[in-house]
Amino acid sequence: MPERIYNFSPGPATLPREVLAQASEDIINYNNTGMGLVELSHRSGEFMAIAEETEALLRELLNIPANYKVLFLQGGASTQFAMIPMNLLGAGKKATYLNTGTWAKKAIKEANIIAEADVAYSSEADSFNHVPDQADYSVAPESEYLYFVSNNTIYGTQFKQFPQSEKMLVCDMSSDILSREIDIKPFGLIFAGAQKNMGPAGATVVIIRDDLLDRTPDSVPTMFRYKTHADKGSMFNTPPCFAIYTIGLVLKWLKKIGGVAEIEKINREKAALLYKAIDKTDFFKGHARENSRSMMNITFNLPSPELESRLVTDALDAGFSGLKGHRSIGGLRASIYNAFPRQGVVDLIDFMEEFAKKNG
């Protein structure tokens, strides 16, 4: 097995090689302190500088307005499914949700425990193979916000244009944050697990508008209040230090290669290459409708489950890991996040074409 293989995993996912190299040094001796990165106190000057720089870089790359807080939280993105309605709704209030996949369904379930989730649209009957157009749903007038998942890792779908609403938007961007330019201002809250486009597992980034911090009902426990963490600069308790540090390295890498605008061009090219290879033969069939296709997670099928299993096995032998589709849908999935190299897509296409010749 070579030192580095192509990792198509949906997350934790590929990180830039230079980030891994720097982290491997700093985890033993950070900046000549005589201590490893994971040994530093989160209240030390060294780590506070890391956290401040990481936040500043994220604000710069996403053009986050000054009236938004940036939080680095634990608990995974799934904790946000409950924290959002706990903080922004409370009993007796309603929000509108778009059900476009597994993670939206989980968020809807949690919201209904706390308040009321009005499901304005669902693509479940079509195996979640698309996201809705603006005309396909309406937002309930009494809703506090419109919730959606920008990119669906399992089914390989993505909103090409974000929903528009008089209500503020709340979005799970776990699998496509920093992959394309966005306008933060229509959003009340954006959250994203780090382990796809930002860094390792262990941290969840929350971007929340200032005025929302005081909406939390008194019944919400201290640790589940956004204001608790905003008031303490994400240092109310020990934060996920290593994950924050690594996010900072990834953001430096992204800035160096040209920022979000440049990575968006690269991402569009990578995805277009792979979709073209899928579409040019009947041997491969994409799962998502063409107008809903994801740039991050390309999902497709072969003529039979047996051939899909064989491709996964042969691909691993050839140095391509993580191509097996999610257990809930099967098939194949190639996750090509920001740090995934273009050459890996080219090499996968060559492998797929050869596999089709042998097995078609």
Query: H-helix or E-strand containing 333?
Result: strand 332-335
- Segment 2-15 mean pLDDT: 92
Q: Across the strands, what pairs with 148? A: 171
Residue 353 has pLDDT above 80, yes or no: yes
Torsion-angle region of residue 90: left (phi > 0), alpha (psi -120 to 50) or beta? left
Asked: is 259-359 a CATH 3.90.1150.10 domain? The reply is yes
Cα 292 to Cα 148, 157, 178: the distances in Å are 14, 5, 19
Q: Which residues contact 291 (CB under 8 A, 6 or more apart)?
A: 130, 160
Q: Across the strands, what pairs with 94? A: 116, 143
Domain ranges of the chain: 18-256, 259-359
Helix 259-279 and helix 241-256, axial crossing angle in degrees, nearest 10: 80
195 near 13, Cβ under 8 Å? yes
Task: Quote the CA–CA distance of 88 and 90 in Å, as a whole number.
Answer: 7
| Short-list 131, 239, 150, CA closest to 190 | 150
Q: Which residues are catalytic?
A: 103, 172, 196
- Residue 167 has which token pair? 């209500």
Q: Across the strands, what pairs with 99? A: 122
Percent of the chain with pLDDT over 70: 99
Task: Quote the CA–CA distance of 200 and 207 in Å, as a whole number.
Answer: 19
Neighbours of 336 (CB within 10 A): 27
The C-alpha R_g of the chain, in whole angstroms, comes to: 21
Handedness of CA 36, 40, 45, 51 (dihedral sign): positive
| The pLDDT value given to residue 1 | 60
Strands 151-152 and 157-158 turn out to be antiparallel
**Dihedral, CA of residue 77, residue 81, residue 87 and residue 92, to nearest 10:** 180
Q: What share of the chain is helix, strand, coil (3-state, %, to 5)?
A: 40, 20, 40
Residue type at position 214: D
| The pLDDT value given to residue 328 | 85
For 193-213, how does the pLDDT look when each residue is reduced to its tens digit (9 = 90+)? Answer: 999 999 999 999 999 999 999
- Segment 54-59 mean pLDDT: 98
For 229-254, how does the pLDDT look when each residue is reduced to its tens digit (9 = 90+)? Answer: 999 999 999 999 999 999 999 999 99
Query: b/e per residue, 85-108, with b = 16+ CB within 10 A?
Result: bbbbbbeebbbbbbbbbbbbbbbb
For 289-315, how does the pLDDT look when each residue is reduced to its tens digit (9 = 90+)? Answer: 999 999 999 999 999 999 999 999 999
> Reduced to 3 states, what is the DSSP secondary structure of residue 317?
helix
104 near 129, Cβ under 8 Å? no
| Short-list 278, 334, 274, CA closest to 302 | 278
Q: Across the strands, what pairs with 293? A: 157
Domain 18-256 in this protein, CATH class: alpha beta
Task: Quote the CA–CA distance of 281 and 201 in Å, as a whole number.
Answer: 37
| Short-list 171, 104, 168, CA closest to 139 | 168
